[in-house]
Amino acid sequence: MDIFVQQIVNGLVLGSIYALVALGYTMVYGILGLINFAHGDIVMVGALVGLSVFHALSGSGLPVPLVLLLAVGAAMVVCMALGVSIERLAYRPLRHAPRLAPLITAIGVSILLQYSAALVWSKQYIPMPELLSPTRFTVLGAHVTDLQAAIFLLACGVMAGLYWFITKTRVGTAMRATEQNKEVAGLMGIDINRIISLTFLVGSGLAAVAGIMVVLYYGIGHYSMGFILGLKAFTAAVLGGIGNVRGAMLGGMLLGIIESLASGYIGDLTGGFFGSNYRDVFAFLVLVLVLVLRPSGLLGQASGERA
């Protein structure tokens, strides 16, 4: 039983990271109908900027919370600037082009970001300096570190804040209006370009937070780390219903738990025929099943246009 609880805990931590990244995909898709494949690489940039700050300040004697805050701050500033500039330079000129053009541009931006990062940070794995020493406690027989708990709680907090921002504030309302119909929203006096920039700003900020979490949790950063992470988060967004903010949160958590349970139990359930190395297969199998049975995702509304 405690093994099962432990797998759920593992899944929730992994899922928190997926959910934060998935939000970036889903918000951009909701407003532009664009799958921003560069989003995973923005997470990578956030992670590596954070690592650089940790390395620069780890021996400086500054209090740990301040170092963390500075790292998150630096990562957010860089990622937000990057996200907004990418939209301005790469996507806005193509806004009225056929859908395939911005999609391919997004893939191009992704590759550009990866290899720029390889130039800046080299292609080596970058280890995280010893900064935190997580303490462990037990919940329902499962071991949880304070770091894991902090990741989960912070992710939930950020998502709650985002949900409040989108549903309760004026700007959030404008975002939802833009999502529903750009032209009409424009006629109502909403500055569409500003709202789209804001969407990239918020999404990239979340990506930076997710990047720092990855670095703190796994203790390792690498120029190509954003690719698989982005793919998983995209899967999570589709699972929950792409374009739907609550769906991205749910999809992220679900995907984390599915992966955890799959790698924990596949071997036993199939008598050793499938090993735990098949966990990604199961994650993507879930994606295929969702697309076949419920194309708009778990929480998505059926629309004429399918994701």
3 near other proteins, rule: CB under 8 A: yes
Least Å from the CB of residue 264 to other proteins: 5
143 strand-pairing partners: 138
Q: Which is nearer to other proteins, 60 or 133 (CB)?
A: 133
**Contacts (CB under 8 A) with other proteins, residues 248-287:** 259-265, 267, 272, 275-277, 279
| Calpha distance 240→34 (Å, rounded) | 17
134 near other proteins, rule: CB under 8 A: yes
How many angstroms separate the Cα of 269 from the Cα of each of 2, 259, 263, 272, 275?
18, 15, 11, 8, 10
Hunting for tokens 């301040």 — which residue is that? 66
41 near other proteins, rule: CB under 8 A: no
| Calpha distance 73→69 (Å, rounded) | 6
Site string for other proteins, 190-209 (x = CB under 8 A): --------------------
Task: Output the six-digit token pair for 188.
Answer: 């109502």
Judged by CB under 8 A, which stretch of 31-39, 86-94, 121-129, 196-204 contacts other proteins?
121-129
HSE-up of residue 54 (Cα within 13 Å, Cβ side): 24
- Distinct helix (H) and strand (E) counts, the chain: 11, 4
Judged by CB under 8 A, which stretch of 95-103, 128-136, 151-159, 169-177 contacts other proteins?
128-136
Q: Kindly state the DSSP code that residue 296 receives in the 8-state scheme.
A: T
Least Å from the CB of residue 153 to other proteins: 16
Residues that bind other proteins (CB under 8 A): 3, 6-7, 10-11, 13-14, 122-125, 127-128, 130, 133-134, 136, 143, 145, 147-148, 218-220, 222, 225, 228, 259-265, 267, 272, 275-277, 279
